[in-house]
Structure 1
Amino acid sequence: MEEATEMEIEEPKSKKFGLKNSIQTNFGNDYVFQIVPKDDWSSVAVSLSTKAVKLYSPVTGQFQGECKGHSDTINQISFSVSSSPHLLHSCSSDGTIRAWDTRTFQQVSCINSGSSQEIFSFSFGGSNDNLLAAGAKSQILFWDWRNGKQVACLEESHTEDVTQVHFVPDNRNKLLSASVDGLMCIFNTDGDINDDDDLESVINVGTSIGKVGFFGETYQKLWCLTHIESLSIWDWKDSRNEANLLEARSLASDSWTLDHVDYFVDCHYPGEGDSLWLIGGTNAGALGYFPVNYKGVRAIGSPEAILGGGHKGVVRSVLPMSCLKGGPSQSQGIFAWTGGEDGRLCCWLSDDSTEIKSILDFKCIGYEITKVSQKKAA
């Protein structure tokens, strides 16, 4: 392991985060796709371009085990079923959704789309929490996950690949779908599900949709990132557009005096109010958290957090482990885990300390730091 080095970085009004540790996943040029947490934060699962999922301790970074079985690209992973917190689900371009017992790292169930379709996204929900929805090509498929029986197939609402499906938080009978065709659809999943009776609204974004998510205290607001790096904000209940930032990448770059934003990784909702952060990255591996102003004068502010010195390539996933607020926090701890095309996992701290007292320390961190400590693992 190389020795840690210290460097001074100056960026007005931005908070810097120390790199506690980086883990090389030992797959050469393979990618880290996604990082998701177990409910109790005892593990984080990491999907890789090797068609495998690895699990690590979020506190120490220690490798815990590996789930292998997919024959094509893994497109999403999630600890989704609250009644079985040890179950990890994954969907793949091999047309399957698999469940893994993370205590044994063995596959315990497999749902097949039945027509060799790529499955890009999945979500658990429904009024009785018994539905598993998946986006596969231009279709939305539904199963009763308790018995694996397919209960519906929607094939008239979208004309191209369905990249995202999400049951709405606090409205578990509502499903949002988003597609390469530029449309977002809201469905009512109560009773028998069909295109004619259960499509409640359609939002036309106008370009291919990459990621969507809900935010706000009642989860009534919806953010949408497209494949051309634009950002739009919507009220999904009445299909009202609240902001349409077509030049989001240029706006973020103009507010970041030290670098140029090449792509967006995700959006982050800190869990209270209507605040939203847009996470942008550079091809060299630096990340910035940009506050989004979607009320009044639409704007993207200067980055309120900067993560630099950990990655050497495009970052694919960010797992926030804190509430990112505007001022100093009372506790110190891990701010985030990140993973990217350099095959590396990076753990970020709010200061140079490597001692974490408890999992509760993850929730809020301090921001008053002027040095970035780099520790690179072989």
Structure 2
Amino acid sequence: MEMVEEKLSALSIARRSCPEEPSYMLDLSMQPSRSGSAQGHLLAVSCSDFSIHLHDKDTLKLLGDYKGHSGALCGVTFAHTYPDLLYSASADGTVRTWDVRRPDTEAVQVFKSDPSHHYCSFDLNCSDLVLCAGTEQVSDEDSFLVFWDSRVSGKMGASGGSSDGTLLGVYSESHSDDITQVHFHPRDKDRLASGSTDGLVNVFDLSLGGEDEALLATCNSGSSVSSVCWSGKDYTQLLCLSHDEGLQLWDLSQLDTDEPLTIYSTVDARSLRLFSGSEESVDYLVGGQWMEEAQRLVVVAGTNSGDLHLLDCDGRGLRLLRSLRGGHTTTVRCFLWDTSSAGEDNLVTGGEDGQLLLWKPGGEELMPGKTESMKCDSVLKVKSRLHKKHDYHRDKKTT
């Protein structure tokens, strides 16, 4: 714990990037290093104007962008073993692959499924072989997990057309509303977690066969799921955040025991007193990340004025590690930790003010002074649905 607090206590703004045409920054992905070569130097940012920006991760300089999606983006991720490939998915019903050696070019691969499918989550497994996307609710009771072989797909032609690629299969019975989260296990290529506005978080082992056989557990978050994160030693724990700022931490190593899965739970993190001697609180939860070296789960929370709070999370609850002020001017949408920089833990954040910030230990901003808020309600309409209660039950272990 002391090591984490010491590292975080030195964080300050080192770089700031503000685009000429502001848009919400929705998701971030860091280029991994190549085997036997220098670390990756690129940072990909998905934006609310349907574009993907490519930045230098150390200077935040804009290197280029990709435009091809015609609907809201639901994520962006670099391939793990082929770091020149970048994947993105969109509500336009496509998952696209981009070659980051050629900024400002068309997608080199396009994956599709049924024309009625609009994706609101996706991920690539750790072996880079399987893509999965979660759809919005298609009809009154249907939403789908769609799987492709990432090695085979349609390619964009001069006319913009493409084939559907190679579909591996579709899961259709595990969720009944928008599938807002799809996350593969960081080390197990067959382990997948999915979350939905139906309140359920499902864990699958894709090696076991069909959908019924693959479903290992169904955890009920009690509310619409906004984020899931693998954590804990050997990544046997699962963090779930909800759209109404609830938090659940489950221990999946207890699946085959009679012990409860829930390690910690709060229905509303905004009601917790995290600041000793102060009335200050958090307004929202951004997400969580497992700090491998320190073996700690850090949850990032924020205020509507742009302040950030870094929280330690375990079975004892949430505890404040560090507050970061003077950076953003409004809601922060995304963050990631860069642990590859000479032993330093750098933090990158992006938000609705159109700013991309790099926080470094002992950082000194070269261009000081934050910009005025560029938030615009018309930039992005955020869809939210009331949590729906379901009366069906599963045979698998649930919380």
Match of 1:132 in 2: 131
2:323 is aligned, of 306, 323, 327, to 306
The letter for the 2-side match of 1:35 is L
Task: Give me the whole-angstrom Cα distance separating, in 2, the residues matched to 1:228 and 1:256.
Answer: 25
Cα offset, 1:251, TM superposition:
1.8
The Cα offsets for residues 42-74 of structure 1, whole Å up to 9 and x where unpaired, read as 110111111101111111122111111000111
Identity of aligned residues (%): 32
Residues 151, 349 of structure 1: alpha-carbon distance in 2 compared, 3 angstrom cutoff: closer
The Cα offsets for residues 155-199 of structure 1, whole Å up to 9 and x where unpaired, read as 1111111111222233221221111111111222127x4323322
8 Å contact 1:55–1:63 — kept in the other structure? Answer: yes
The alignment of Structure 1 onto Structure 2 pairs a total of residues equal to 335
2:151 is aligned, of 110, 130, 146, to 146
Runs of 4+ off more than 4 Å = 252-256, 331-334, 352-355
The Cα offsets for residues 240-292 of structure 1, whole Å up to 9 and x where unpaired, read as 11111223222255458373210011112111464212111010101010112
Which residues in structure 2 correspond to 1:187-336 (within 5 Å)? Answer: 187-190=204-207, 193-239=209-255, 240-251=261-272, 253-255=274-276, 257=278, 259-272=280-293, 274-294=295-315, 298-302=316-320, 304-322=321-339, 335-336=346-347
The letter for the 1-side match of 2:87 is H
- Is 1:179 aligned to residue 200 of structure 2? no
Match of 2:114 in 1: 114
Match of 2:71 in 1: 72
- Is 1:123 aligned to residue 123 of structure 2? yes
8 Å contact 2:74–2:122 — kept in the other structure? Answer: no
Task: Give me the whole-angstrom Cα distance separating, in 2, the residues matched to 1:14 and 1:162.
Answer: 33
8 Å contact 1:31–1:341 — kept in the other structure? Answer: yes
The letter for the 1-side match of 2:57 is P
| Greater share of strand | 1
Task: Give me the whole-angstrom Cα distance separating, in 2, the residues matched to 1:59 and 1:81.
Answer: 20
Task: Give me the whole-angstrom Cα distance separating, in 1, the residues matched to 2:93 and 2:64.
Answer: 24
- Is 1:347 aligned to residue 346 of structure 2? no
8 Å contact 1:252–1:290 — kept in the other structure? Answer: no
Residues 256, 320 of structure 1: alpha-carbon distance in 2 compared, 3 angstrom cutoff: farther
Task: Give me the whole-angstrom Cα distance separating, in 1, the residues matched to 2:250 and 2:193.
Answer: 13
Task: Give me the whole-angstrom Cα distance separating, in 2, the residues matched to 1:282 and 1:189.
Answer: 39
8 Å contact 1:17–1:306 — kept in the other structure? Answer: no
- Partner of 1:319, secondary structure, is strand
- Partner of 1:249, secondary structure, is helix
8 Å contact 1:76–1:90 — kept in the other structure? Answer: yes
The Cα offsets for residues 200-258 of structure 1, whole Å up to 9 and x where unpaired, read as 22112221111001112211011111111011110124341111122322225545837
TM (norm. structure 2) is: 0.77
TM (norm. structure 1) is: 0.81
Gaps of 5+ in 1: 1-12, 324-330, 356-372
Gaps of 5+ in 2: 1-6, 34-39, 137-142, 153-164, 256-260, 373-399
Match of 1:55 in 2: 54
8 Å contact 2:52–2:66 — kept in the other structure? Answer: yes
- Partner of 2:207, secondary structure, is coil
